[in-house]
Chain A
Amino acid sequence: MKRSRFPQIVTLLGLLFLYIPILMLVLTSFNESKYGGVWGGFSLIWYKKLFQNEDVWKALRNSLFIGVSATLASTVIGTLAALALTKYKGFLQKLHYGMIYVPLIMPDILMGISLLLFFVALSFPLGLTTIFIAHTTFCISYVTMVMLARLQQFDWALIEAAEDLGADTWQMFWKVMMPLLTPGLLAGALLAFTLSIDDFVITFFVSGPGSTTLPLFVYSSLKFGSPSIINALSVLVLLITFTVLWLSQRLTTEKP
């Protein structure tokens, strides 16, 4: 039977649909005119203004600080969790898995409001610390899932071999496990970092004065400030995420 053309047409239209707003962004970032519907000529003025805006860099600093610290914390905690889930199979681990899984299926806004309530009830001041706690919380589940997938392919006989050859626990960990787990760790860490740097909803709930992250800054500028600067920023962000994506693809796809 001849294959139907229908799926190909849907795919073409689907891809077109995915790129409409992206094209719009790139165009407007180079548009001299402030108004979306008028082409005022090619210009780099918004890029220049972006680099002169100090709030952007402050927000970026906050985002990077939280991204790096939440990535470190969640990668360590998530890796330990994945090891526990792989090695032990009792009731405790069933409960443990449930606790790691449920955050993945909770809408973001629920995690946002619950953490806000929690911090308010404890009179814990909202700021970078609360954002760090929130980001680490949702990143743990993702890192654990990445590491679980990696550990399923892990050859535990290598550990026994190291033991037989007289390695102590410390040596076994650093010299045998770590080198084998590094690609998985990097993939998990990269995922955590991407999730943290892009999170808006949960951050919006638990942020306080002076803890504006990049997505919070982007949101408030788009809503109340100057969208044209953000268009320029978006094109830069797009380029950066493209690079990160490209790197992560290289890390996660094994080359023959």
Chain B
Amino acid sequence: MKFKETALTFPSFGWLFLFFVIPTLMVFAFAFKPYDDFGGIEPGWTLNTLYEVLNPDFAVILWRTLWLSGITTAVCLAIGLPMAYVIARAHPRYKQSLLLLVVIPFWSSFLVRIFAWKALLHPEGFLKQALVALHIVQAETTLLYNAWAVLVVMIYTYLPFAILPIYSAAAKFNFQLLEAAYDLGASRWEAFVKVFMPGIQKGVFTALLMVFIPAIGAYVIPDVVGGTNGEMIGNKIAQFTFTERNLPLASSLSLFLAAIVLIPMSTIMILSGSGTSRLEATGVSKE
């Protein structure tokens, strides 16, 4: 029997140990390596590479990455909650179509959608022209290449990641509880906060992770619509890897990124004793 467990476990265990655990530990180790003027790796160990990451230039980018992903997460939840609620309460005949409408853009290539936004926000783009014609923005306002463009496109890209897990929790919610709360004199807001929210909290938590994790590690979106004023950690990691060829600095930034994700995650998981899965939102693992 023991042999069978080993035989079943070994392929995935061995593969992930070799191609996930070791590479991840290597990045963490490289964060403590000194580098020379050309970005080459020097022998020995140092904390200077990590301190380098905390200099004011990087601090601006770290801070921007945090607030952009924080606001993205908050807005996606704020839009995702009512949308998930409507879909969950929709007539069964429309429910599947509504879900499909949410999922279709999500399953098309994300690169293409991001570049479509670039074309829309471009000074000669349709959206820019429409907004100018409606006197919402001035002709000389630039919509592209700033942190706000990154924010809009991130909210756009990750919104379905928020809707789907909240929906799957809301679909199991007993909506008669809301009627009961109203009968007992609760206002809409009280019923929402005290009855609905606790009932779907696991879905909301999954949604939070599903938006926050890719948002904090975003690379393509700030690269395409952000310009220098919209750079995030991901851009710096890529820049140090490919342009400056400074792997210790790229690793130090990666260590920060991993810490931002993994420390709160593991704390929550240890405290709650269970993990929710990013998979729940892909729509494949339906009960």
Contacts and interface: CB of A to CB of B under 8 A. Distances in A.
A230 B115 contact: yes
A80 B24 contact: no
Contacts of B111: 200, 215, 218-219, 222
Contact of A15 (B101, B220, B275): B101
A162 B79 CA distance: 51
A32 to B, nearest CB: 16
B112 A110 contact: no
A187 B224 CA distance: 33
A48 interface: no
Given A21-B117, A87-B8, A110-B27, A234 B13 contact: no
Contacts of B128: 37
Interface stretch (B46-54, B119-127, B197-205): B119-127
A14 B128 CA distance: 19
Interface residues of B, number: 85
A205 B284 CA distance: 28
Interface string A51-86: 000000000000000000000000011101101100
Interface residues of A, number: 96
B16 A140 contact: yes
Binding site secondary structure of chain A: helix
Contact of A10 (B22, B83, B160, B284): B83
Contacts of A87: 5, 8
25 contacts: A10-B79, A14-B79, A24-B127, A25-B112, A28-B119, A38-B124, A78-B12, A84-B9, A92-B9, A99-B21, A106-B213, A107-B234, A109-B237, A113-B27, A113-B237, A113-B254, A140-B12, A146-B279, A215-B111, A218-B109, A218-B111, A223-B224, A230-B112, A237-B108, A237-B109
Interface of B: 5, 8-9, 11-13, 15-17, 19-24, 26-27, 30, 79, 82-83, 85-87, 98, 100-105, 107-113, 115-117, 119-120, 122, 124-129, 156, 159-160, 163, 182, 188, 209, 213-214, 216-217, 219-220, 224, 234, 237-238, 241, 247, 250-251, 254, 257-258, 261-262, 265, 275, 277-279, 282, 284-286
